[in-house]
Chain A
């Protein structure tokens, strides 16, 4: 009985100490994660800046025309198609538009 009490007391003490250590350990982890967060946020901001620089219309137009050989569609190459939804629903708009860029190649096939 005596040894059992002693064992229980020791276990309790151990649990208490372990808990304390864990708190400290977690504290360090929180600190580390916080600094990670700051670093990642900064990285995200930097990437965002790069994305908005890279997607500037000026650059896209340049890459599209000079590297990829694209050109803005001529008026006769743009066709607007009005589609009726198959099942008319009261919430969906009754008609919507899809814009297609018709290629010259497609016309030749027809």
Chain B
């Protein structure tokens, strides 16, 4: 009996053990087989973390190698909530250094997450202070921040990059594929507390930096342009201003200034309207500066010579039941005088002599209605209607710069063609792209798009345009000792409320080049809605003069007087 009782007890114990093992086995089967996939993912998420390391963004230089945009390593601060005992104490401690409210930091540190950003891309000084206060569960990583050391200088061209280093506007966006650094994905292991275990050779794994850009822009010319443009916009209480300076022979942009400016280091608070590069994204009715093109076409097609006499109807002419006015009443004028005194009637008559199709062909040839293909984003084509949809007044209107939309860039490129002996150049702004090792990857070179007029016509027109500055509407652009050629423009703006030309809103402009016999600098100045005086000759021509006066000696262009003086000494 005792034997069977013993056996039964043994059997019971064995049963208990077997039941226990069976339970473990079932649990194991459940975990290892049934839930295997799901749990593996969960485990990976807990102990490993994928981080994308990115090489620094490429630097942007001006034509003389001055830095315009650069990447700096700045500290970013993160917290690991799981390894913090006293979140509120840590928050109070960090608050004054991070310039973030303690309550905000505390809220982040109490989250049920393994990793939280506390503050990103701080100043290097803040980083040094943080390094001196070692705190468990708080870490610093270095991240690249885009920095524009010259502040607002050239901001509309440079654009800016976002928090994660992606180019959002301007050159930063246009050349994103070249500028951004190499990306490399690294898997970091984390221990039980969620602390990051960095692989030892992480430093050697640093991905390569992005390509650097060298621009055709000259920092000094850009500065002079921005300074003088801003002064003019302020003095005339204008809404805004645009200035583009170019080398007429190459199409290289030397300066592109807009007023008001913005600081690309602090764009968060600004509206897109402030950073849009209106020199090429917005078309406007150019007004009388268009007469340069009328002159080029009429001279090339030989419908006019500089001495051709044109009757200017004493300042009033009826076209298609509307009246065209001149700002000064005159009778007979030479064609040269028509351009120099900016007669609307004379220009309209020249365009009529050309006829719709011929005039349209020249407008197209000079690049209106198509992009200049400059290497900047967002360029507009402007508005050039096909002659089939022109009205009876269109020919006369376009001749005086109405019914046509052009960008300031298109206009300066077109006038540069006159300065360049009739060759239309493609404008460009990036002259070199080099990789992180300094090897040349791409080069921007002068590119002729087409011949628009003969060299002879260009020379004849150039002498007429010199007359604009010596005796016409552009005398305020004259620079003693230099031969300046150019054309003024005063355009009425269309009032969006009435749809008609506003009697009070104007765009004053001047486009020209210097020295006329050996052009080194072409420039357009556009002042939008000046409140004092509207005439392009009064508001824009002086800006041309002040900029050219400072830039020409800087470029080493001799004035004819200086040569005489030097020879006399």
Contact = CB atoms under 8 A, between A and B. Distances in A.
20 contacts: A38-B203, A45-B72, A49-B67, A49-B147, A49-B149, A52-B66, A52-B67, A52-B70, A56-B149, A56-B150, A57-B223, A57-B224, A58-B150, A58-B151, A58-B223, A73-B553, A75-B562, A80-B566, A81-B566, A82-B566
5 smallest CB-CB distances across A and B, nearest first, come from: A57-B223, A52-B149, A52-B67, A53-B149, A56-B150
A81 B559 CA distance: 12
A60 to B, nearest CB: 9
Given A49-B72, A79-B565, A57 B553 contact: no
A34 interface: yes
Contact of B550 (A53, A72, A82): A72
A82 B311 CA distance: 50
Given A52-B150, A57-B220, A78 B72 contact: no
B51 interface: no
A45 B149 contact: no
B146 to A, nearest CB: 11
Interface in A46-86: 46, 48-49, 52-53, 55-58, 61, 72-73, 75, 78-82
Prevailing SS type, chain A contact patch: helix
B480 interface: yes
Contact of B556 (A57, A58, A72, A99): A99
Interface of A: 34, 38, 42, 45-46, 48-49, 52-53, 55-58, 61, 72-73, 75, 78-82, 97, 99
Interface string B213-251: 000000110111001000000000000000000000000
Given A58-B150, A75-B562, A99-B553, A49 B70 contact: yes
B532 interface: no
Contacts of B553: 73, 75, 78, 99
A34 to B, nearest CB: 7
Contacts of A80: 556, 558, 562-563, 566
A61 B66 CA distance: 16
A73 B559 CA distance: 14
B326 interface: no
Interface string B432-471: 0000000000000000000000000000000000000000
A38 B220 CA distance: 33
Nearest to A72: B550
Interface of B: 66-67, 70, 72-73, 124, 142, 147, 149-151, 153, 203, 219-220, 222-224, 227, 480-481, 549-550, 553, 556, 558-559, 561-563, 565-566, 569
Given A52-B67, A56-B149, A79 B219 contact: no
B558 A75 contact: no
Contacts of B481: 75
A80 B555 CA distance: 12
B203 A48 contact: no
Nearest to B558: A80
Nearest to B68: A52
Contacts of A97: 556
A57 B551 CA distance: 13
Given A49-B72, A52-B67, A99-B556, A79 B562 contact: yes
A7 B220 CA distance: 76
A46 B2 CA distance: 91
A17 B149 CA distance: 54
A79 B558 CA distance: 9
Given A52-B67, A55-B66, A81-B566, A75 B559 contact: yes
Contacts of B67: 48-49, 52
Contact of A57 (B73, B153, B559): B153
A35 B563 CA distance: 59
A80 B566 CA distance: 7
Given A42-B142, A75-B553, A79-B566, 16 more contacts: A46-B124, A49-B70, A52-B66, A52-B67, A56-B149, A56-B151, A56-B153, A56-B223, A57-B150, A57-B224, A58-B151, A61-B223, A75-B549, A75-B561, A80-B562, A80-B563
Contacts of B72: 45-46, 49
A66 to B, nearest CB: 14
A98 B124 CA distance: 43
